[in-house]
């Protein structure tokens, strides 16, 4: 991964869900981020394919970082309407509940409010992508054997952000006029994880009907 990518994650430049920004700024940033990875008119299914001669680990690492940054931003745009009161459980409708587990405080799957879950998730991902032993920044430094496993876990958990936003907060996304950008980001994400089989099909289930309409 290039140093330029790593610079994106300086604390003062990363959009954190707990920080508040003016709606105009959020929309501007969301627009900028959503458009940055796309060329005008480029088919998204083609855009995610591994370029000839490129290393798959490098390709996945760049996309994990990009998706983290953009999905973090998407959640930030609706975070003022996602509170412990409105979303006491991290869920995707009545059928899907997500419990948090990590190697530190929550060693067993634990039910948390959506904002608490999101905060822990974004912090956890940030630690992973800034860990040189998992995401090496020096060209030529090999990726660890566990890299793809970590990348899959990150992407699966990021998919849950889409699930929660689409099912519980899409009215807020629409109110901000950001649905086209969120949809584009989602389609880009979906095509990428399915192209390289980076997310279990059961994780994709909550948005299955919407995805069928949007991506096929």
**Residue 215 is assigned to a ligand binding site:** no
CA angle (185 as vertex; 181, 191 as ends), nearest 5: 145
Q: Does any domain span residue 187?
A: yes
**pLDDT tens, per residue, the chain with 216 residues:** 433 333 333 333 344 433 232 344 332 443 343 344 455 456 888 888 888 778 888 889 888 988 999 999 999 999 999 999 999 999 999 999 999 998 888 899 999 999 999 999 999 999 999 998 998 877 678 899 999 999 999 999 999 999 999 999 999 999 989 999 899 999 999 999 999 999 999 999 999 999 999 887
Q: Binding site annotation covers 82?
A: yes
CB contact at 8 A, 119 and 139: no
Q: Give the list of residues 6+ apart from residue 152 with CB closer than 8 angstroms, or none.
A: 198, 199
Give how many domains the chain has, as a whole number.
1
Full residue range of the structural domain in which residue 117 is found? 57-215
Q: Domain for residue 25, yes or no?
A: no
Domain containing residue 147: CATH number:
1.20.140.30
162 falls within a domain: yes
Q: Is 201 annotated as a binding residue?
A: no
| Nearest C-alpha neighbor of 56 from the set 177, 197, 186, 170 | 197
The answer to the question of residue 12 being in a domain is: no
């Amino acid at each position: 991964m290039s140093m330029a990518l790593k610079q994106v994650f300086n604390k003062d430049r990363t959009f954190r869900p707990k920080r508040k920004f003016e709606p105009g700024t959020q929309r501007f940033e969301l627009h900028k981020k959503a458009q940055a990875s796309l060329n005008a008119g480029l088919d998204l299914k083609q855009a995610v394919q591994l370029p000839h001669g490129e290393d798959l680990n490098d390709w996945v690492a760049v996309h994990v970082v990009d998706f983290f940054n953009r999905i973090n931003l998407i959640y930030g745009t609706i975070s003022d309407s996602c509170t412990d009161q409105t979303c006491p459980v991290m869920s995707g409708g009545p059928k899907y509940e997500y419990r948090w587990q990590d190697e530190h405080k929550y060693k067993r799957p634990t039910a948390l409010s959506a904002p608490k879950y999101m905060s822990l998730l974004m912090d956890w991902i940030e630690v992973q992508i800034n860990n040189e032993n998992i995401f090496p920044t020096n060209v030529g430094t090999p990726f660890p054997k566990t890299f793809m496993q970590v990348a899959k876990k990150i992407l699966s958990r990021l998919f849950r952000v889409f699930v929660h936003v689409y099912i519980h907060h899409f009215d807020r996304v629409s109110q901000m006029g950001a649905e086209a950008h969120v949809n584009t980001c989602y389609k880009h994400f979906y095509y990428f994880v399915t192209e390289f089989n980076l997310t279990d099909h059961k994780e994709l289930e909550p948005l299955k009907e919407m995805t069928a309409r949007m991506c096929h």
